[in-house]
Each structure stands twice: as structure tokens, then as C-alpha cells.
Amino acid sequence: MYNILICDDDADIRAALKIYLSGEGYTLFEAENGAQALEIAAREPLHLILLDVMMPAMDGIAVTARLRQTSNVPIILLTAKSEDSDKVLGLNVGADDYVTKPFNPVELLARIKSQLRRYAQLGGMPDAGGHRLQVGGVCLDDETKTVTVDGAPIALTPIEYNILRLLMQNPGRVYSSTQIYELVWNEPALGSESAVAVHIRHLREKIEIDPSQPRYLKVVWGLGYKMEKGV
């Protein structure tokens, strides 16, 4: 089973996380500051670390930077800071995901599972052939017409599948609703673009853990939609 380190200076939050995670059968370690976290990380073989950002002694950003020098263990930052600049900083020093307090326990569990799946499958990933498209944990096989997210298969409708394929062909490129409509439905839009928004939302609900904070399928407001490039 997996070893997970919970690092937070608030004992109540650690206890709550333990209750949630122990139900899933993980082996849990606790640390109440950054120094302890580094100590445990050096001692135990860990598979995932939940790390608070604002802690005494050594904050989460510094711990992440230190851990990344030797290890590629998944790190999820937990923090009360919700500004975009804080998220960017956290992800840039090497964190894999970012969850703001107060968090939804179900969503946090989903993110933990997703990171563990990817971590466990790293290296065992088959080569992407001409018929395979991959963006981050999202994998689309155009031969078998299957889509997996972090290894878990997803059921899509044909329209959703075509939209996803279009966006994954050019990750980072922004397609407007009209373009998507014309390329997927293959007919002039003539005011039917609003259908695209609904399909995109459904697609996002299937491939994203938190649809309102998408990692892969992003809304570029006022311009269109895109598949995130560098995940």
C-alpha cells in the first residue's frame, strides 16, 4: 500500500485528514513542521506528501524545493492563500497540485488518488504512437476511441470525444466556440455556438477533479477554450 506524509501545523486538520485517508488503507506519517517533514522523507519511502504552506520553522515552499533536489514524490500543497501568484509559485518550485483551505475532503481524496495513480504508472507508460494523444494525465487513443485520465478510463459521448480530440491535437491553442462548432459539427455555426459551452462543461466534469478549477481543459474567457499545454 502507499505511504502518505501529512504535514500541517494544525493538529485538528492533521487528525481530520488521518480519518479521511485511513479509510482508504494508506500508511500515514505525521509532521507538524517542515523540518520534521524532511526528516521523515529522508527516513521512510513515501509515495505522496500533503504539505501545508504556512508553517513555523520551514514553510511548505522551502520544503518542496529541498525535496525536489533528490526526489520526484508527488507533493500536494495545502494552503489558506488563494491568490494566483501563490499557486504559480508553489507549482513552479515543483509541487504537483495545489488545494486551498478550506478544502472539500472528497475533492482532496480524488486529487490524492489521481497523483498516486500517475506516480505508480510513471515509467510503465507505453510510447505514444501516432494514434495516441497525451496531455498530462489525459490520454486519448484514436484507434480504440478510448480516453483515460491518470489511467482511469472515462466514458464520453461522440461530440465530447471529437471536441477533446480537436483540443488535444494542438495543446495550448485557443479555439473559439464558432471554430469548435464548425470543426466538430462541420456546419456553419449560425448562432448555435452556445451548445459548445454546454458540451465543454460536461467534458470538464468528466476529466477534471474540480470542474470549476480545471487543470487540463481551460476556459479562455472571451476568446474560447484550450487544452493546457505544460501539465
Partner 1 sequence: MKTRLGERIGVRALAFFLLAVSSAVGGLCLFGTLWCETCNWYANRKAESYFETEAFYGEVERDIRQIVQMAGCYGFTLETEEQYSSNSSNFTYRLWRLDENNPEAEGELISSTYTETSPSVTGSEIIRASDLGYLDPIAEDEANALYRVDWIVDGTLPVGDSYYYEYLLFVSLYDERYYLPVIAAVGLALSLGLLIFLLWNAGRAPGGQRNAGPAGFLPLEAYLLLTVGGGILCLSLMANGAQNILGTALWLLGLWGAFLFFTDALMGVCARARAGVLFRHSLSGAILRWVWRLVRGFCRWLRDSFAALPLVWVAMMGGVCVLLGETILTLLAFTSYEFFFLLLWLGAQVLLLAVLCRFFSGLYQLRLVSRKMAQGDLSVRVPAKKLWGPLREQGEDLNRISEGMSAAVDERLRSERFKTDLITNVSHDLKTPLTSIINYVDLLQKEALEPQAAEYASVIARQGQRLKKLTEDLVEASKASSGSLPVNAEPTDLAELLTQAVGEYAPRLEKSNLEPVLQLPGEPVWSMLDGRLTWRVVDNLLSNACKYSQPGTRVYVEAEQRAGRAWLRVKNISRQQLNIPADELMERFVRGDASRTTEGSGLGLNIARSLAELQNGEFGLIIDGDLFKAWASFPLSAPPVREEPPEATAGLSCSPDSAPIPLTT
Contacts with partner 1 by CB under 8 A lie at: 10, 12-13, 16-17, 19-20, 54, 80-82, 100-103, 105, 130, 133, 142, 144-146, 153-159, 161-162, 165-166, 169-170, 173, 175-179, 183-184, 186, 191, 193-194, 196-198, 200-201, 219-225
CB of 70 to partner 1, least distance (A): 30
> What is the DSSP code (8-state) at residue 59?
-
Nearer to partner 1, 47 or 226 (CB): 226
C-alpha neighbours within 13 Å on the C-beta side of residue 85: 0
Strand partners, 24: none
Q: Which residue in the block uniquely carries the three cell numbers 486551498?
A: 100
CB of 228 to partner 1, least distance (A): 15
CA distance 61 to 51: 9
Nearer to partner 1, 56 or 153 (CB): 153
Query: CA dihedral defined by 170, 174, 176, 179, rounded to 10 degrees?
Result: -20
CB of 218 to partner 1, least distance (A): 10
Cell numbers linked to 79: 494552503
Q: Are 161 and 145 in contact (CB under 8 A)?
A: yes
CB of 107 to partner 1, least distance (A): 11
CB of 26 to partner 1, least distance (A): 17
Q: Are 93 and 122 in contact (CB under 8 A)?
A: no
CB of 193 to partner 1, least distance (A): 5
Nearer to partner 1, 72 or 92 (CB): 92
Q: Are 63 and 38 in contact (CB under 8 A)?
A: yes
Q: Is 175 left (phi over 0), alpha (psi -120 to 50) or beta?
A: beta
